[in-house]
Amino acid sequence: MLELIKQPWPWYVAGPLIGLIVPALLLLGNKHFGISANLRHLCAACFPAGIRFFQYNWKKEIWNFFFIGGILTGAVLTTFFLANPDPVTVAPALTRELEGYGMQVTGSLLPQEIFSWSSLFSLRGLIMLVGGGFLVGFGTRYAGGCTSGHSIMGLSDLQWPSLVATIMFMAGGILTANLVLPFILKL
C-alpha cells in the first residue's frame, strides 16, 4: 500500500479526486474552495485595523485554515516519509535548453543557479522574487481569486468570470515561460 502512495497517480485518478472536493464542500455547508482567500482571513485575524477590506466575520471561514493546515501537514509528511530517493528525471530537451542558459541539471527540480541564497540576492533573483511576487499578488487580487479558486471551484460552478480568468492564467503562464523567463535567465 505504501508503494502505491509513493508513486505519481495518473491524471484520471488524481483529477477526479480533486474535482470531488468541490461538490463535497458545497454539500457540507456551501463552502467555496480557494487558497488565496486564506491570506485575507489571516490578515483579518492577526491585524485588526480600520481597513474595510479586512472588516468581516473571518471566524466564519476558520474551516479554511484547517484545510490549509492539512495541505501543509500533507506536504511535510510526504517530504519526510514518502519521498522518492531516485533522482528526478528531466526531459533531455529541457536539459539542453537549461544548459543553454548556463544551468546544470543535476536531477533536482530546483536548479541551484536560480534557487539558492547567492542567486536570491542577485539582479535575477530580485526580479524573480520581488517582481514575480508582486505580479502574483496583484493578479490574484485583480482576478478576484487564485488559480485553484477559479480553475477548480469556479469552472465547476460554470462561472463565466472563472473561465476568462483561467484562460488568462494559462496565456500568461505560456507567455511568461516562453518569452519573459528566457530573457531573465540570460541576465
Segments making up each domain of the chain, as ranges:
1-83, 114-187
Copy the grid coordinates of residue 150: 477559479
Give the Cα separation of 183 and 187 in Å (integer): 7
Give the Cα separation of 129 and 119 in Å (integer): 10
Instruction: Work out the average pLDDT over 98-116.
Output: 76
Number of helices and strands (H, E) in the chain?
13, 0
- Kindly state the helix (H) or strand (E) to which residue 160 belongs, with its residue range: helix 160-175
Instruction: Work out the average pLDDT over 65-70.
Output: 88
Instruction: Work out the average pLDDT over 19-38.
Output: 83
What is the pLDDT, as a whole number, of residue 107?
A: 65
Give the Cα separation of 33 and 25 in Å (integer): 7
What is the chain's mean pLDDT, rounded? 84
Q: What percentage of residues in the chain have a pLDDT greater than 70?
A: 98
> How far does the chain reach from its first CA to its final CA, in angstroms?
47
Judged against a pLDDT cut of 90, whether residue 167 lies above it is answered with yes
* Cβ atoms within 10 Å of 143's Cβ, excluding its own: 20
What is the pLDDT, as a whole number, of residue 108?
A: 67
Total residue length of the chain: 187
